[in-house]
Protein backbone atom coordinates (compact mmCIF):
# COMPACT_ATOMS: atom_id res chain seq x y z
CA UNK A 1 0.00 0.00 0.00
CA UNK A 2 1.03 3.56 -0.52
CA UNK A 3 1.40 6.35 1.98
CA UNK A 4 -1.88 8.23 2.42
CA UNK A 5 -1.79 11.32 4.62
CA UNK A 6 -5.59 11.30 4.95
CA UNK A 7 -5.72 7.89 6.67
CA UNK A 8 -6.72 8.16 10.32
CA UNK A 9 -4.32 7.13 13.09
CA UNK A 10 -5.89 5.25 16.03
CA UNK A 11 -4.10 7.32 18.70
CA UNK A 12 -6.33 6.21 21.56
CA UNK A 13 -5.75 2.53 20.79
CA UNK A 14 -1.99 3.00 20.39
CA UNK A 15 -1.66 4.88 23.67
CA UNK A 16 -3.83 2.36 25.53
CA UNK A 17 -1.82 -0.61 24.20
CA UNK A 18 1.48 1.00 25.15
CA UNK A 19 0.19 1.96 28.61
CA UNK A 20 -0.86 -1.64 29.27
CA UNK A 21 2.52 -2.89 28.05
CA UNK A 22 4.38 -0.34 30.20
CA UNK A 23 2.37 -1.25 33.30
CA UNK A 24 3.00 -4.97 32.89
CA UNK A 25 6.70 -4.51 32.17
CA UNK A 26 7.11 -2.13 35.12
CA UNK A 27 5.76 -4.84 37.40
CA UNK A 28 7.99 -7.50 35.83
CA UNK A 29 11.10 -5.30 36.08
CA UNK A 30 10.26 -4.35 39.67
CA UNK A 31 10.08 -8.03 40.61
CA UNK A 32 13.25 -9.16 38.85
CA UNK A 33 15.47 -6.09 39.40
CA UNK A 34 14.83 -5.22 43.03
CA UNK A 35 18.17 -3.56 43.68
CA UNK A 36 17.60 0.15 43.03
CA UNK A 37 20.70 0.81 40.95
CA UNK A 38 19.58 -1.22 37.95
CA UNK A 39 15.89 -0.33 37.97
CA UNK A 40 16.20 3.36 37.09
CA UNK A 41 17.90 2.91 33.66
CA UNK A 42 15.46 0.14 32.78
CA UNK A 43 12.49 2.38 33.58
CA UNK A 44 14.03 5.18 31.50
CA UNK A 45 14.29 2.79 28.58
CA UNK A 46 10.69 1.77 29.09
CA UNK A 47 9.59 5.43 28.96
CA UNK A 48 11.60 6.01 25.78
CA UNK A 49 9.80 3.08 24.15
CA UNK A 50 6.48 4.98 24.28
CA UNK A 51 7.25 7.65 21.68
CA UNK A 52 9.00 5.06 19.51
CA UNK A 53 5.93 2.81 19.60
CA UNK A 54 3.64 5.72 18.76
CA UNK A 55 5.89 6.80 15.88
CA UNK A 56 5.97 3.30 14.42
CA UNK A 57 2.18 3.00 14.83
CA UNK A 58 1.71 6.34 13.07
CA UNK A 59 3.83 5.29 10.09
CA UNK A 60 2.12 1.91 9.80
CA UNK A 61 -1.33 3.52 10.00
CA UNK A 62 -0.46 5.94 7.20
CA UNK A 63 0.57 2.98 5.06
CA UNK A 64 -2.82 1.38 5.78
CA UNK A 65 -1.93 -1.27 8.33
CA UNK A 66 -4.63 -1.98 10.92
CA UNK A 67 -4.61 -4.94 13.25
CA UNK A 68 -7.79 -6.76 14.09
CA UNK A 69 -9.25 -6.15 17.50
CA UNK A 70 -9.88 -9.03 19.89
CA UNK A 71 -13.60 -8.85 19.14
CA UNK A 72 -12.90 -9.18 15.40
CA UNK A 73 -10.67 -12.18 16.05
CA UNK A 74 -13.34 -13.92 18.13
CA UNK A 75 -16.22 -13.57 15.65
CA UNK A 76 -15.47 -14.77 12.12
CA UNK A 77 -17.01 -12.71 9.37
CA UNK A 78 -19.23 -14.22 6.72
CA UNK A 79 -17.82 -14.35 3.21
CA UNK A 80 -19.38 -11.92 0.71
CA UNK A 81 -20.64 -14.76 -1.48
CA UNK A 82 -22.57 -16.42 1.35
CA UNK A 83 -26.21 -17.31 0.84
CA UNK A 84 -29.15 -16.83 3.18
CA UNK A 85 -29.02 -20.50 4.27
CA UNK A 86 -25.85 -20.03 6.30
CA UNK A 87 -27.75 -20.63 9.54
CA UNK A 88 -28.10 -24.34 8.72
CA UNK A 89 -24.90 -26.24 9.47
CA UNK A 90 -23.63 -28.30 6.58
CA UNK A 91 -23.06 -32.01 7.13
CA UNK A 92 -19.82 -33.40 5.80
CA UNK A 93 -19.79 -36.82 4.21
CA UNK A 94 -17.71 -39.47 5.95
CA UNK A 95 -14.40 -40.17 4.28
CA UNK A 96 -13.82 -43.52 2.67
CA UNK A 97 -12.37 -46.12 5.06
CA UNK A 98 -8.66 -46.82 4.82
CA UNK A 99 -6.31 -49.18 6.58
CA UNK A 100 -5.71 -46.50 9.21
CA UNK A 101 -9.39 -45.79 9.87
CA UNK A 102 -10.67 -49.34 10.17
CA UNK A 103 -12.41 -50.38 13.35
CA UNK A 104 -10.91 -52.95 15.63
CA UNK A 105 -7.55 -54.60 15.49
CA UNK A 106 -5.54 -54.96 12.28
CA UNK A 107 -3.78 -58.10 13.52
CA UNK A 108 -4.51 -61.37 11.85
CA UNK A 109 -6.27 -63.82 14.12
CA UNK A 110 -4.20 -66.88 15.04
CA UNK A 111 -5.30 -70.11 13.39
CA UNK A 112 -6.67 -72.86 15.62
CA UNK A 113 -4.75 -76.13 15.55
C-alpha distances (whole Å) from 95 to each of 102, 105, 106 are: 12, 20, 19
Domain annotation covers residue 86: no
The predicted pLDDT at position 24 comes to 97
Helix axes 11-32, 36-62, angle to 10 degrees: 160
Tell me whether residue 61 is in a domain.
yes
Q: Say if 104 falls within a structural domain.
A: no
Identify the pLDDT of residue 103: 64
Give the global pTM.
0.60
Q: Higher pLDDT residue, 82 or 21?
A: 21
Q: What is the pLDDT of residues 59-102, one digit of tens each?
A: 999 999 988 888 888 887 665 555 555 566 788 888 888 877 76
By the 8 A CB rule, do 15 and 54 touch?
yes
Residues spanned by the domain of 25: 1-65
Question: In 3D, which of 7, 19, 16 has the Cα closest to residue 69?
Answer: 16
Assigned domain for 20 exists: yes
Average pLDDT over residues 101-109: 65
Q: For the chain, what is the domain count? A: 1
Amino acid sequence: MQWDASRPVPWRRLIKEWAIYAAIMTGVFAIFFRDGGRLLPIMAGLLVSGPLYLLLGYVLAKFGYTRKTLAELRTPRASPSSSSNDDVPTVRARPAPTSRTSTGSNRAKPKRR
